[in-house]
Amino acid sequence: MRMPLDQSFVGRSYPPTEPYVVGREKIREFARAIGATDREFHDPEAARAIGYPDVIAPATFPIVLTMASSHQQIVEDPELGIDYTRVVHGDQKFAYARPIVAGDALVCVNTVEDITSRGGHDFMTTRSDVRTEAGETVVTVWAKLVQRGKEDVA
């Protein structure tokens, strides 16, 4: 007995998140953690030399904002009823208008873009539109989560 995820959630968007203010030290910490030594991730002067007001963030940095906010809003939505103990990360995609820059105050709008059920598993694609407070699109982030069926035996 198992209820597939409710298809009527497709297209649902959640309220914009509180602005996340991107710190220079957070970008440096993230860059160090992934071993990225490009000077533009660490040194504001180097970033200014290629046209940015402060250090820029590595390409996967947006996950810091989007994973937390989409988890809080969508995965933990009691009406949707996802069992996170059965969830694995399927796909991940980023499309950038520009790199995130230290000092950005970023708002995420999280949307359930797609839900499908196949072979006893549920597949949910979430989209996070990451914008400045002024409404400038910075990056769009998609994650596909797979909720494995309860009867799944590897």
Partner 1 sequence: MTTSETTYRVTRADLVRYAGASGDFNPIHWSERFATGVGLPGVIAHGMFTMALVSRTVTAWAGAPDAVVELSVRFARPVPVPDTDEGTEVVVTVSERGQTDEGHTKLALTATCRGEKVLSLAQAVVRKR
Sorted by sequence, the CB contacts under 8 Å of residue 21 that are 6+ apart come out as 103, 104, 105, 106
* DSSP string covering 70-97: HIIIIIT-TTT---GGGEEEEEEEEEES
Q: How far is the CB of 59 from partner 1 (least distance, A)?
A: 4
Q: Which of 21, 49, 68, 105 binds partner 1 (CB under 8 A)?
A: 68
Q: Out of 78, 95, 134, 135, which residue is the one contacting partner 1 (CB under 8 A)?
A: 95
Q: Is 20 in the site for partner 1 (CB under 8 A)?
A: no
Of the candidates 2, 13, 38, 118, which one interacts with partner 1 according to CB under 8 A?
38
Selected binder of partner 1 within 4, 19, 23, 67 (CB under 8 A): 67
44 contributes a contact to partner 1 by CB under 8 A: no
Q: Smallest distance from the beta carbon of 63 to partner 1, in angstroms?
A: 5
Between strands 20-21 and 87-96, the pairing is unpaired
